[in-house]
Homo-oligomer: A and B are copies of this chain.
Amino acid sequence: MSPRNSALEAGRTRRRIVDRGLELSSVEGLEGLTIGRLAADLGMSKAGVLGHFGTKESLQLAVVDAAAEQFMHEVTQPARGIPPGLAHLRALCEAWVSYLERQVLPGGCFFTAAAAEFDGRTGPVRDAIAAMDALWLRDLGIHIRRAISAGDLPPDSDGDQLLYELAGTMLALNHHLQLHHDRRASTHARRAIQRLLTPDPALKALR
């Protein structure tokens, strides 16, 4: 069972390694994740783990990919059916809050942690993290502009400003949940989102 696995078995083992690596690195960091501990945790040898990736950096890149996949599945999937505009944007934000609230990963948001860990470095891992973060922000920005042009938000709204403040809301949620175990944080996050994503009532009256 151990040596000479089929390609299918090897693929499954690779997934097990990456999935567990994602969980561990959300707690210990992506650099703090070591091949030895990951192998011990999975009941494998170090060489058995490393054989699937070649280098630690390649393993880290696989973990970043898996994190992006999980995040997209958890946050964009629940909003799939909802029509574009403000309703869709609200659904994305609610799924985002829920994702952090349910602590899908033991260490909270992988990208928040990885961004803080790698933002001062250079190389492919830092680039991959920054690219994924930028991709999600871009995606969110599209939904914001769609909500504005649909008339769901005031036409003079600053989309970039709104995007910035939504991102801050989620960073604060992760921070308060992980560092202070403050469960009121999700209430604060939902209130902030509610305020950011409610059309100005004064402008509404003008229509």
Contact = CB atoms under 8 A, between A and B. Distances in A.
Interface string A92-118: 000000000000001110001101110
A178 interface: yes
A108 B31 CA distance: 19
Contacts of A180: 130, 133-134
A57 interface: no
Residue in A129, A165, A176 with the greatest tally of chain B CB atoms within 10 Å = A165
A121 B24 CA distance: 12
A29 interface: yes
A81 interface: no
Contacts of A165: 165, 168-169, 172, 188, 192
A61 to B, nearest CB: 17
A38 to B, nearest CB: 16
Interface string A179-198: 11000110011011000000
Nearest to A171: B171
Contact of A161 (B117, B167, B188): B188
Nearest to A32: B31
B160 A115 contact: no
Contacts of A32: 31
Contact of A107 (B31, B120, B160): B120
Contacts of A130: 179-180
A40 B26 CA distance: 31
A175 B168 CA distance: 9
Interface string A112-145: 1101110111000000011001100000000000
A24 to B, nearest CB: 10
